């Protein structure tokens, strides 16, 4: 596969002003007739360029004509994904008929079938699997689409925009025409045809326009759509209130499909969602699931402005829409629920997975400079770090100027395909600030490190903070320039009084900040709210961290102080384990936790966050060299010690949170459930039978999936094997007809740390509910084993690595996007101790030696081996 470079960007020589599509959807084939009104781009001087249209190499071209004149094979060239026609007029209509086989499309890009329904996925480059087109985001066109299909099988026919015409013939076929007045790039095109049920509602925009809201799903799932509908209405109102953005069509549709490579897709007026991101019901969905639905529904809705009305010039600019939209959805969720808890969850994801990506072989800037396969760049860096970059702009400018900047950006670029530079330029215009140094966040990869030291002169009351910043090398970037970043700081007295709170701006490699009139040596609360996506080193004493955990007025930093303390203690135990020294748990930590557990005034959701130990994945990210066994043993030791020593406190917390209230998704109720289930997890970690009974009771008496699944997974992962098997079987019998619940059932078993895990996952892969063509099932089983079961995936005989490689090679022929994603754990081979590292490398090499890898898997494997 070839590499595409940002520096080679050229504007399109040809524009498509209007696109008229007609789909004849049949069981064994689909015929697509595309009529493209094409004209040369007046902004490009080389008018004599041939017309180049992109089209998948395997797509059958049935007919091609220009202004009604049929072309024969000698009139055009077709080679490797491109159709070239020389000597075309300045402006003309090209008609093209292609034949597609959606029922054979297992890659789930372009037009495919999901459980008998036709649907599409065109981002990033799926439209070229439907017809020949300048399939690039800077070619924006007005689409009119007609769908023709059997009326009985496919009573619902949907596409972008508003329905403008419909009819039926005498042979049982019907048709609907959809008109989308807003010019859009081809990646936002969508169609759906199927037998779908519908939840309908209405929304009145701020300016008084009526919008019909429709969520489509299989009939059996109709009772699981109310939550998504409410989330949609909340998101529409929030975008009006916070960003001044209104919806712009008469209809907004969401369709739930079971076969989907990612979470959801923001196609104009017709979002297509993975069922896992839209269906929600207390009995089948966990609290986490509810929050995901709310967040993703909002995210896709917010794209209507940040992505659709203003889109990306090229795919290197992906974070322009994704980073900004993740920032918008995170703020929405923070406003709807607990702001601090949302921040903790997002930062945990960033520190665990994005930092690992940024330190690995696939590290790339938020605005990448090159790619082989763009699907590989829908990454945590582009999304989550991209959102942090937007958050820093928000922090540096303040909310009012940021809003003015966003207004200006939307106004300046409405209907255009633009760059991250254009976004920053709008922020520069409204603030009058020079953000050129800030833009290094878009062009430099790697996680910066801040090393902070301090001094205090009691005689003068002068306190100084010295901050040094650095950033490690990343692929293709040996040396980094200093970043411009906001550093939110508080200074606290010994008793917790706040002596100072404010924002520092870092621009130099080394900078000293001076604070006068400080009455006593303060404890610094640094990087409050995680004001920049960096690693922070400051040599805190345990006592200082305990003080911050107790008193910091910044909720995020209170939590972070507790985490720092745990991480430090865990790292000592990891070393002890490696050196054969007996493990121990500090009495200060135990007492601090006892205090937290006994303080009934604390917010349960926050308390649950504070009492959760850092995951093995996060400890791995922080390790110089990953020793999976030592990390596991140290963490297990700490977990069981805290469980045993504080057993009575855990029970009291469990009882305090077990209120018997009926299920609700409000933030307080979710917080109580999360603390209750954490307490149950610690009780179960004692290994004592009374808590098995408690878990069993919770399993059978709960009225919601959050409590039922928590109890199931605790029992399933315990040494009580008989009860584990019994509950797993009961759960299966109860939920076998709920596909999403069965994904949880697969995950719980795939992540079971008890002996025989590999044999178990092999058996599950043969189970009737497992379907290797369904990405959700693959993520549950393969992702569950390789991502959530470290001791077995990293088995010392290399069997876990070989298992994953076998799967990747099999899946690559079927669904390259999903295969490349599932490969991620192997790419971290250089970070592991030598024995495992060599085994992982061996499997990557085995894949590399296989002929005919997809571009997706080839890119990840080859870059990992470099």
Binding footprint of Zn ion on the chain (CB under 5 A): 322, 325
Q: Are 393 and 408 in contact (CB under 8 A)?
A: no
Chain center to CA of 575? 33
On the CB side of 348, CA atoms within 13 Å amount to 18
Strand order in the sheet with 462-470: 510-515, 462-470, 449-457, 535-538
Q: Which residues 556-585 are close enough to bind ligand HT7 by CB under 6 A?
A: none
Q: Among 56, 95, 322, 633, which residue interacts with ligand HT7 (rule: CB under 6 A)?
A: 322
- Cα–Cα distance for residue pair 333/326, rounded to 1 Å: 10
Query: Is residue 211 a contact point for ligand HT7 (CB under 6 A)?
Result: no
231-249 exposure pattern, b = at least 16 Cβ within 10 A, e = fewer:
bbbbbbebbeeebebebbb
Among 120, 177, 375, 544, binds ligand HT7 (CB under 6 A): 375
What are residue 17's phi and psi, to 5 degrees? -75, -40
Beta carbon nearer to Zn ion, 322 or 331: 322
Binding mask 794-833 vs ligand HT7 (x if CB under 6 A, - otherwise)?
A: -----------------------x----------------
Q: Which of 20, 123, 218, 859 binds ligand HT7 (CB under 6 A)?
A: 123
Residue 184 CA to residue 310 CA, distance in Å, equals: 9
* C-beta closer to ligand HT7: residue 314 or 322: 322
Q: Closest Cα partner for 445 from 357, 335, 351?
A: 357
Q: Least distance to Zn ion from the beta carbon of 302, Å?
A: 8
Q: Where are the beta strands (DSSP E) in 384-496?
A: 417-418, 449-457, 462-470, 485-492
Q: Is 378 in the site for ligand HT7 (CB under 6 A)?
A: yes
β-pair partners for 31? 24, 99
- Contact between 266 and ligand HT7 per CB under 6 A: yes
**Could you tell which of Zn ion, ligand HT7, none binds residue 817, using a CB distance below 5 to 8 A set by kind?**
ligand HT7
Sign of CA pseudo-dihedral 752, 756, 758, 763: negative
Q: Is 125 in the site for ligand HT7 (CB under 6 A)?
A: no
Q: Say how far apart CA 730 and CA 723 lie, in whole Å.
A: 10
Minimum Å distance from CB 123 to ligand HT7? 5
Specify burial of residue 501 (Cβ count, 10 A radius: 0-12, 13-18, 19+): middle
Q: Which listed residue (300, 331, 373, 859) is catalytic?
A: 300
Q: Which is nearer to ligand HT7, 326 or 808 (CB)?
A: 326
| Cβ-Cβ contacts under 8 Å for 775 (sequence gap 6 or more) | 108, 259, 260, 261, 815, 818
Minimum distance of ligand HT7 from residue 351's CB (angstroms): 21
- Establish whether 300 is a catalytic residue: yes
Closest contact distance (angstroms) between CB of 118 and ligand HT7 is 17
Q: Judged by CB under 6 A, which stretch of 256-264, 346-354, 410-418, 700-708 contacts ligand HT7? A: 256-264
Residue nearest ligand HT7, Cβ-based: 262
637 binds ligand HT7 (CB under 6 A): no
Answer for which of 40, 98, 105, 261 binds ligand HT7 (CB under 6 A) is: 261
Q: Return the number of the residue (383 or 402) whose C-beta is nearest ligand HT7.
A: 383
Please tell me whether residue 97 adopts helix, strand or coil conformation: strand
**641: three-class secondary structure by DSSP:** helix
Residue 264 beta carbon to ligand HT7: minimum distance, rounded to whole angstroms: 6
CB of 151 to ligand HT7, least distance (A): 29
Give least dist CB 308 to ligand HT7, A.
Answer: 10
The helix (H) or strand (E) run that includes residue 505 is strand 498-506
Q: Is the Cβ–Cβ distance between 365 and 442 less than 8 Å?
A: yes
The one segment of 117-125, 487-495, 604-612, 723-731 that binds ligand HT7 by CB under 6 A: 117-125
CB of 257 to ligand HT7, least distance (A): 11
Cβ–Cβ under 8 Å, residues 275 and 777:
no
Which window, 24-32, 295-303, 632-640, 799-807, contacts ligand HT7 (CB under 6 A)? 295-303
Phi, psi of 181 (to 5 degrees): -75, -15
Nearer of residues 332 and 378 to ligand HT7, judged by Cβ:
378
Output the CA torsion 659→662→663→669 (10° steps).
-40
Rounded Cα distance between 852 and 850, Å, is: 7
Strand, coil or helix: what is 17? strand
What is the rounded CA–CA span in Å between residue 47 and residue 30?
35
CB 109 to ligand HT7: min, Å: 7
SS3 state at 457: strand
C-beta separation of 213 from 126 below 8 A:
no
Residue appearing with tokens 């989907």: 260
> 187 or 720: whose CB is closer to ligand HT7?
187
Residue 265 or residue 610: which is nearer to ligand HT7 going by CB?
265
The CA–CA distances, whole Å, from 270 to 146, 196, 273 equal: 15, 14, 10
Of the pair 266, 358, the CB lying nearest ligand HT7 is at: 266
The two structure tokens encoding residue 159: 């596409």
Which residues are paired to 63 by β-bridges? 97
99 forms bridges with which residues in the sheet? 31, 60
- Min. distance of Cβ 670 from Zn ion in angstroms? 24
Stretch that binds ligand HT7, among 118-126, 132-140, 515-523, 640-648 (CB under 6 A): 118-126
Under the binding rule (CB under 6 A), the answer on residue 317 touching ligand HT7 is no
**Among residues 319 and 677, whose Cβ is nearest to ligand HT7?**
319
Nearer to Zn ion, 274 or 325 (CB): 325
Among 96, 124, 597, 840, binds ligand HT7 (CB under 6 A): 124
Name the minimum Å distance from CB 393 to Zn ion. 18
Which residues, 6 or more positions from 662, have their beta carbon under 8 angstroms from its beta carbon?
703
Q: Are 708 and 741 in contact (CB under 8 A)?
A: no
Contact status: 267 vs ligand HT7 (CB under 6 A):
no
Q: Does 300 bind ligand HT7 (CB under 6 A)?
A: yes
Q: Does 418 bind ligand HT7 (CB under 6 A)?
A: no
Q: By CB under 6 A, tell whether 265 contacts ligand HT7.
A: yes
Could you tell me how many helices (H) and strands (E) the chain has, helices first? 30, 31
Could you tell me the smallest distance in angstroms from the CB atom of residue 92 to ligand HT7?
A: 32
By CB under 6 A, is residue 262 in contact with ligand HT7?
Answer: yes
Expressed in angstroms, the distance from the first to the final Cα of the chain is 16
Positions annotated as catalytic residues are: 300
Residues at the interface with ligand HT7 (CB under 6 A): 121, 123-124, 261-262, 264-266, 299-300, 303, 322, 375, 378, 817
């Amino acid at each position: 596969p070839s590499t595409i470079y940002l520096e080679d960007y050229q504007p399109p020589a040809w524009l498509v002003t209007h696109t008229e599509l007609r789909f004849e959807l049949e069981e064994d084939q689909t015929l697509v007739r595309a009529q493209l009104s094409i004209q040369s781009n007046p902004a490009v001087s080389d008018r004599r360029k041939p017309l180049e249209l992109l089209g998948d190499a395997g797509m059958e071209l049935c007919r091609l004509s220009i202004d009604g004149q049929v072309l024969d094979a000698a009139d055009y060239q077709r080679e490797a994904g491109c159709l070239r026609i020389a000597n075309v007029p300045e402006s003309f209509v090209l008609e093209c008929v292609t034949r597609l086989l959606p029922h054979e499309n297992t890659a789930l890009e372009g037009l495919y079938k999901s459980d008998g329904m036709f649907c599409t996925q065109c981002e990033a480059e799926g439209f070229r699997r439907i017809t020949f087109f300048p399939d690039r985001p800077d070619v924006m066109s007005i689409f009119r689409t007609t769908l023709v299909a059997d009326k009985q099988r496919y009573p619902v026919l949907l596409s972008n925009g508003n329905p403008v015409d419909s009819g039926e013939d005498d042979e049982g076929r019907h048709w609907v025409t959809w008109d989308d007045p807003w010019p859009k790039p081809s990646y936002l095109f969508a169609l759906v045809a199927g037998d779908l049920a519908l939840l309908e509602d209405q929304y009145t925009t701020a300016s008084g326009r009526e919008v019909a809201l429709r969520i489509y799903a299989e009939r059996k799932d109709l009772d699981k759509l109310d939550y998504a509908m409410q989330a949609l209405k909340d998101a529409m109102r929030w975008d009006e209130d916070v960003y001044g953005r209104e919806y712009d069509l008469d209809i907004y549709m969401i369709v739930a499909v079971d076969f989907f490579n990612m979470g959801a897709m923001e196609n104009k007026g017709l979002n297509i969602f993975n069922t896992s991101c839209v269906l929600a019901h207390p009995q089948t969905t966990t609290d986490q699931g509810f929050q995901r639905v709310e967040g993703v529904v909002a995210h896709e809705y917010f794209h209507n402005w940040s992505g659709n009305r203003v889109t990306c010039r090229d795919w290197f600019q992906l974070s322009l829409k994704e980073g900004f939209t993740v920032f918008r959805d995170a703020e929405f969720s923070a406003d709807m629920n607990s702001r601090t808890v949302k921040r903790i969850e997002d930062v945990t994801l960033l520190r665990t997975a994005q930092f690992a990506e940024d330190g690995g072989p696939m590290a790339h800037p938020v605005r990448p400079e090159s790619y082989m396969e763009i699907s590989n760049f829908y990454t945590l860096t582009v999304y989550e770090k991209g959102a942090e970059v937007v958050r820093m702009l928000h922090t540096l400018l303040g909310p009012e100027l940021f809003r003015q900047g966003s207004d200006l950006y939307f106004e300046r670029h409405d209907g255009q395909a633009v760059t991250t530079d254009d976004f920053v330029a709008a922020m520069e215009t409204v603030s009058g600030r020079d953000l050129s140094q800030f833009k290094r966040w878009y062009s430099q990869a790697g996680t910066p490190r801040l090393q902070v030291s301090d001094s205090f002169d009691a005689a003068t009351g002068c306190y100084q903070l010295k901050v040094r910043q650095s950033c490690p090398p990343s692929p293709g970037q040996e040396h980094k320039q200093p970043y411009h970043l906001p550093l939110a700081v508080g200074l606290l007295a010994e008793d917790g009084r706040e002596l100072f709170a404010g924002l520092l701006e870092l621009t130099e490699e080394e900078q000293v900040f001076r604070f006068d009139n400080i009455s006593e040596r303060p404890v610094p609360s640094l990087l409050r709210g995680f004001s920049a996506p960096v690693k922070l080193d400051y040599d805190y004493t345990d006592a200082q961290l305990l003080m911050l955990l107790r008193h910091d007025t910044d909720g995020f930093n209170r939590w972070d102080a507790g985490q720092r303390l745990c991480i430090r203690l865990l790292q000592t135990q990891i070393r002890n384990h490696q050196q054969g020294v007996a493990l121990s748990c500090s009495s200060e930590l135990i007492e601090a936790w006892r205090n937290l557990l006994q303080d009934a005034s604390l917010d349960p959701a926050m308390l649950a966050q504070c009492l959760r130990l850092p995951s093995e994945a996060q400890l791995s990210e922080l390790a110089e060299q990953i020793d999976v066994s030592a990390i596991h043993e140290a963490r297990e030791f700490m977990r069981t010690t805290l469980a045993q020593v504080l057993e009575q406190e855990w029970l009291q917390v469990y009882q305090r949170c077990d209120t018997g209230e009926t299920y609700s998704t409000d933030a307080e109720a979710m917080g109580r459930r999360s603390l209750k289930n954490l307490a149950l997890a610690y009780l179960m970690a004692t290994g004592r039978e009374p808590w098995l009974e408690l878990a069993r009771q919770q399993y059978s008496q709960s009225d919601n999936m959050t409590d039922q699944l928590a109890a199931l997974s605790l029992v399933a992962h315990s040494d009580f094997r008989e009860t584990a098997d019994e509950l797993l079987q009961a759960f299966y019998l109860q939920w076998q007809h709920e596909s999403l619940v069965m994904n949880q059932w697969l995950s719980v078993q795939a992540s079971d740390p008890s002996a025989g895990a590999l044999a178990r996952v092999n058996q599950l892969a043969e189970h009737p509910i497992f379907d290797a063509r369904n990405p959700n099932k693959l993520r549950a089983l393969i992702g569950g084993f390789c991502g959530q079961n470290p001791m077995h995936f990293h088995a010392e005989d290399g069997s876990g690595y070989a298992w994953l490689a076998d799967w990747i090679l099999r899946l690559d022929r079927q669904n390259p996007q999903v295969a490349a994603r599932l490969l991620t754990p192997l790419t971290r081979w250089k970070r592991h101790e030598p024995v495992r590292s060599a085994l992982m490398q061996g499997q990557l090499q085995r894949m590399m030696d296989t002929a005919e890898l997809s571009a997706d898997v080839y890119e990840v494997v080859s870059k990992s081996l470099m």
